[in-house]
Structure formats: C-alpha cells, structure tokens
Structure 1
C-alpha cells in the first residue's frame, strides 16, 4: 500500500444559495432604482438621487444570475491510498468527500498534458456528507501534474494492469 499527498484542484458546482442571493440583490436594486426615479420626478434632480440610480444600475449589472450558474475550481490536497484491490481518494482539508475505485473496475487510464488531468473511466463509490453513491461506467477526473508525480502514475498503472494513454501527445 502506497500513500500519496498531492496538490490538486477540484471542480465545484455553483450553489443554488448563491443563485437565490443574487436574485434577491437584483430585486433590491430594482426597487432602489425605481424609488430613485420617482424621487427625481417629485423632488427634482439632485446628486443623491442620480448617484443612487447609478449605483443600483452598476450593482445590478455586476450581479447577474446567469453569470453565477457556472462552477469554478478550488485548490485542494488529495490523499490517495493505492492498494492492490482499490484506490481511495480523499479530498482535503475542506471537502468532505471520498472516492473508492476497485482496481478491477478500471476500464481506461487517460492523461492530458494540456489539462494536467488524469481521467479514470471506471465504476466507483463516492462518500460525501455521510451519503454513499455508486457511479457505474463513469469517470473520475484528477488534476495531477505528470512530471512531478511519476511514482503515483506508475503505481496506478501497476495495480490496475492498464497502460496510461496520453491523449494529446
């Protein structure tokens, strides 16, 4: 059994909570802009009303829900345990997630130099937030540079009995 601690990154989907917060901000901005325009009609033009309207438009333009729907990458440390029968991947420190891949369920190993990403096509179990899910005929993406971690890649090839294919060489 070999243990590796490797700096990597993980893809995080945008949360629904941020989407709803952005919608609430936009509603507040619309109310502020309408109130400023009504105040301009009844009280006349002054610096306070114009600046409130400009600030409302700027805040509304920068916080659009459609811009918030995409995910992002966060850096993390992977604690990977390579055994003869399985590979366990723990995402540290703030990600409560563990992936277990049985080595006999690995179908292909692919690596992209351009993305610095290992793609493992396999069946695997994922434990996240005390829930376990099985993913059949799916893929695990690990953003691990090849040159700095050649011992890790050698171990993966050795236990899975699969050759690592380089997709963009």
Structure 2
C-alpha cells in the first residue's frame, strides 16, 4: 500500500512540474506567478480554478491495460507438491472469499518472491471477468483438449525466468 501511495505522490509531483512550466509561459505578472507557485507547493491547487484545470489536464491517472495478467505477492500464494517428486502446484486467492485457485506448473522447482501470472489466450470461452479465477465448476471448453491441459506460465514481476532473477557472474 505504501508503494502505491508513493507512486501516486510521485505522479502528482511530475504533473506539478508540467503545470509550473505552463504557468510560467501563460502568466507574465510576477506576483500572480508567485501566488500560483505557492498554491501548487502547498497543495492548495484544488481551490484555484485555473490550477485545478491545469492539474486535471496534466495529472495522468493510472489505467490498467493488461487484462490477462495478475501479480501475486510472495505472502499471498502457496507452492506445494502432490507427490514427493511431482510437479509444483500454486494455490492463489480467487474471487470468492476464502477460496483458492489451484494452478499446476510444469516444473519441480517452487517459485519464490512476487509472481506475475499470465493467462494464455488459448481458451476464451469463460466470461472475461471470471476467466479462470474463483470458478468452482468452470464450463467445459469447446476448444481442443490440448489447450485445456497446458499449465499456467509464471514469471517474476521483474520479468525474469520462473525460477527467479538470473545471477550475473
């Protein structure tokens, strides 16, 4: 949560820098410039119509454009094996309360750290909002049986391999 708040604050400060440039270009009166700069610095830009219009214009709000990915923190998933030498399974939280979604992996090494789960585009028969998450009895897929049996691909949030970041030697 702290990271998200810091990202929002950094984004707002970047917008303030752009607004300062616009204020400097548009106003020629030094007293008016000083008043606007002080209002920006003290976060009083919401009361000034000119500054609030400029901040709305230059402060880009975040929009998520990834519909097939989910990031799971290290403390939110559980990696386990069904047999001693078998492949690893992940249990991640689903959409229903206290229900885990179990995902088979095609490796015997358990992933560590923050994971980015990427859904494959092989099956589009589920509704987009519930595509594989939190569904107890999902509908049967009408595609080939091979597309149903493929395990999910996991990657670290940093974009590295499923086994963690590469060590540089």
Q: Same fold (TM over 0.5)?
A: no
More strand by share: 1
Relative CO higher for 1 or 2, CA cutoff 8 Å, sep ≥ 6?
Answer: 1
